[in-house]
Chains A and B, each alone.
Chain A
Amino acid sequence: MIEIKDLAKTFAYDKKEAKQRKKKVITDPREGAGVFHAVRDVSFKCEQGKVLGLLGPNGAGKTTTLRMLSTALEPTAGQILINGHDVTKEPLYAQKLIGFLSGKTGLYHRLTVQENVEYFGRMHGLGKDELASRIDQIFTMLDMHSFAGKRADDLSTGMMQRASIARAVIHDPKVLVFDEPTTGLDVISAKTVLDFIESFKGSDKAVIFSTHHLHEVERLCDDVTLIDLGETKFNGTTAQFAALSDDGNLYDAFLKTVNDKEAA
């Protein structure tokens, strides 16, 4: 289980940027004196066997939150706990347990798909036999055997995304974080990715799934967390989230939650 408590992240502007911002009229509540509070107060929980949908408009603070979760960024305040272990204090422990995939996590273009996945598997300490068995299992699930020997720079977008997913899950992580994994994919590739994520439902893994596609949330997510302007706006089940709208659809619930906050 992964639990995020009162998470915050503040970035300092460089001197030039801070000077320019002083001259502007600022309405964003996240702007401070020479700093930007990208994440102000985010809390949610994702349990084993469940898929949590992380929603929010562009610039809401989702990616920053996920980067903190993956240990790439250190929180300014708050806690991230995986099975009770503080990620900030034990980053190596967390890195072994987390599988992270975002639009920004790339592959090495001059290595083949197989070499890429092997490299990250070995980085996570997998032995030769275990690695071979995991690769065979994942490549079968994601239908990747046909292009395993291709260099990453020769792959289509769909192949690249499946290879990236294989890279993210090679070490059999207990917490999986997918940041917009279907963006830019065709229908068939997107289905393969979504089927793969769905296969973790009811397993020993907790899955955090950030997306802008609400039909994917409807299909996959047990719970929903909505973030906007760096704050948690909603935490609950997908059904509870849908119930926020008059006719029970996620699209209206999303707009209502965001608009309510803006009106406030």
Chain B
Amino acid sequence: MWLVYKKELLELVRDKKTLIFSILLPTIIVPLFMFGFIKFASSKAQEVRDKEIKVAVINAESLPDFSDIFSKEKKFELVTLEDSNYEQAIKDEKVDFVLEIPQTIQAPAQSLKQETVALYYKGSSNLDNIAMRRLESALDIYNKNQRKALGDKFGLSNDNVVAFTKPIAIDKNNFASKREKSGEAIGSFIAYILILLAVSGAMYPALELGVGEKERGTLETLLLTPMKKWQIVVAKFGVIFTTSFLSIVMVLASYFIWSLILGFGAMLKSMGAGDVIESISGMDMFLIGSMLLPVTAIFAALMLIASIYAKNMKEAQAYMSPIMMFAFFPVLIALLPGMELNWKTAMVPITNVSLAMKDLLKGTIDYGLLGMIFFSTLIIAGVLLYFTTQFFKKESVLFRS
């Protein structure tokens, strides 16, 4: 059995396709592409944050202090429009925002009522939203000044003005730790990624070791050797399991290394992952890895069954697609808002593992439930492996044509 295991592993390592799809693609190409994309997106966002926003204030003389804020504030440029076709001017990028002040307007501190200024702009992307937020915070300066002037007019102190603006201020005291909060936000997502890697990592070696052997005629050669069929299955399962689990470890390690190389540590912190990463212990990592073991075993067995049953590669891939769906749905359930690990959700395979991983990252795991989930998942994996060995004994499966 060990002989078959070593041989299968050697063949996979020598396969260029395996190296490309199982190692090169997930550990180098995908992270580089992903980090490149994130870097590009963040540099674009920074560009919008730093860029000089062009603002045109129409009838500025009606409300002199108003347009002054754009002269005083950094990174704003007051521009003058030659015609009244604002839409065309914005489309031609001559101006980003047009503020049209009514000719009869008075400052609110004088009219003692709310006044309206029309804003013209083109906002469709997140980058436009960043520019809008910058404009709004500049406008807040004018509003703040007006509130103060109104307060003075009515003999109100600053505190009175604040009370008018926001009668009740909420002083939030959240007992959830930072780790719990960020773990809740990213825990399910990390579990999703890990389980996804377990499924996709099992797919390619399963294709090679099952239907690949059928297509190349080596399966029949193997069946003629004095080795029990269950031993052949266990060896093949072992190789799929090993490569799948190793690919998860390698992918995680590669993302960690790439984030260090490309300086994404600070970005991860800004995304809220910092508290989880800093507070997660070696034991938590070990437990997350342990939960992944039976899950990987389940998908290794399922992929091997599909691959052995199929007549050719195309058919095998068709069978593997529903298995991928079978993996995704329970994980997606775990992503739903309000889903928590309890005795009920612990009964749902894969969903339970996903929720347990989230709780491990949050630091709120119930170890009794964790043990129950581990052993129940292990039993499912064992049953599936047994079923695979029985399946491999059927002539109608091995010589299906």
Contact = CB atoms under 8 A, between A and B. Distances in A.
B3 A119 contact: yes
A83 B15 CA distance: 42
A89 interface: no
Contacts of B220: 67, 72, 102, 104-106
A95 interface: yes
Contact of B14 (A72, A96, A110, A123): A110
Contacts of B332: none
Interface string B1-15: 001100100110011
Contacts of B216: 106, 108-109
Nearest to A119: B7
A77 interface: no
A167 B4 CA distance: 16
B399 interface: yes
A100 B224 contact: yes
A105 B217 contact: yes
B226 A110 contact: no
A95 B225 contact: yes
Q: From DSSP, what is the main secondary structure of chain A's interface residues?
A: loop
Contacts of A95: 224-226
B227 interface: yes
Contacts of B398: 72
Nearest to A99: B224
B227 to A, nearest CB: 6
Interface in A156-191: 167
Nearest to B217: A106
A109 B215 CA distance: 12
B224 A71 contact: yes
A92 interface: yes
A106 B225 contact: no
A241 B395 CA distance: 35
A132 interface: no
Interface string A105-129: 1111111000000011011110000
Given A111-B10, A123-B3, A72 B218 contact: no
Interface string B210-245: 000000111011011111100000000000000000
B224 A125 contact: no
Nearest to A106: B217
A167 B217 CA distance: 14
Interface residues of B, number: 22
B396 interface: yes
A243 interface: no
Contacts of B218: 105-108
Contacts of A70: 224
Contacts of A74: 395
A255 interface: no
A105 B221 CA distance: 5
B217 A12 contact: no
A122 B224 contact: no
A239 to B, nearest CB: 33
B94 to A, nearest CB: 64
Interface in A20-73: 67, 70-73
A109 B228 CA distance: 23
A229 interface: no
Contacts of B224: 70-72, 95, 98, 100, 105
Contacts of B15: 110
Given A95-B226, A96-B226, A107 B221 contact: yes
Contacts of A108: 7, 11, 216, 218
Contacts of B217: 103-106
A123 B231 CA distance: 12
Given A104-B217, A124-B225, 17 more contacts: A72-B223, A72-B398, A92-B226, A98-B224, A104-B220, A105-B220, A106-B217, A106-B218, A107-B218, A108-B7, A108-B216, A120-B221, A120-B225, A123-B3, A123-B4, A123-B225, A125-B226
28 contacts: A11-B396, A70-B224, A71-B223, A72-B398, A73-B395, A73-B399, A92-B226, A95-B224, A96-B226, A100-B224, A104-B217, A105-B224, A106-B216, A107-B221, A108-B7, A108-B11, A110-B11, A110-B14, A111-B7, A111-B10, A119-B3, A119-B7, A120-B221, A122-B3, A123-B4, A123-B227, A124-B225, A167-B221
Listed from nearest, the 10 A-B pairs whose CB atoms lie closest are: A106-B217, A95-B226, A123-B225, A110-B14, A105-B221, A106-B218, A110-B11, A104-B217, A92-B226, A106-B216
